[in-house]
């Protein structure tokens, strides 16, 4: 997974960079392919905002989250991205490959 982290009106510390990388690592378990992710961290007065665009095969997923501190915003962002990835995987999964009563040879 390739992660590009940028800050808007703030400096990205090594601790923040490590935290984002560690949290986004759980998204890579859903895909075998290489993923590209762009994360933007923003501070506007008392509002901390985290945005991310995840480039998956066939679709780009976007999520954003705001919280009182940056670490909470990152946690919320990763939770949203995880739900989006699972939803996207569910849409692309072939639902006709499973075992069904209509396809089985036995009637009964």
Query: Max alpha carbon distance in the chain (Å)?
Result: 67
> Is the model's pLDDT at 31 over the cut of 60?
yes
Give me 59's structure tokens: 């679709």
Is 95 inside any structural domain? no
Ranked by mean pLDDT, the top range of 21-25, 54-58, 64-68, 86-90 is 64-68
Domain that holds residue 83: 2-90
pLDDT tens by residue, 59-107: 899 999 999 999 999 999 999 999 998 888 887 776 666 555 555 555 5
Give me 48's structure tokens: 């901390």
Is 36 inside any structural domain? yes
Question: 34: closest CA among 17, 51, 55?
Answer: 55
The whole-angstrom separation of Cα 74 and Cα 70 is: 6
Full-model pTM? 0.80
Residue 65: CATH number of its domain = 3.30.160.100
Domain count, the chain: 1
Classify residue 104 by its DSSP letter.
-
Question: Coil, helix or strand for 88?
Answer: helix
The whole-angstrom separation of Cα 2 and Cα 54 is: 10
As a whole-number percent, the residues of the chain with pLDDT over 70 amount to 86
């Amino acid at each position: 997974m390739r992660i590009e982290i940028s800050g808007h009106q703030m400096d990205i510390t090594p601790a923040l960079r490590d935290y984002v990388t560690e949290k986004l690592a759980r998204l890579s378990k859903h895909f075998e392919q290489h993923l590209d992710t762009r994360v933007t961290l923003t501070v506007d007065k008392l509002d901390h905002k985290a945005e991310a665009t995840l480039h998956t095969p066939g679709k780009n997923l976007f999520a954003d989250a705001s919280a009182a501190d940056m670490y909470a915003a990152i946690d919320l962002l990763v939770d949203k991205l995880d739900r989006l990835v699972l939803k996207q995987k569910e849409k692309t999964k072939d639902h006709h490959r499973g075992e069904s009563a209509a396809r089985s040879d036995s009637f009964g």
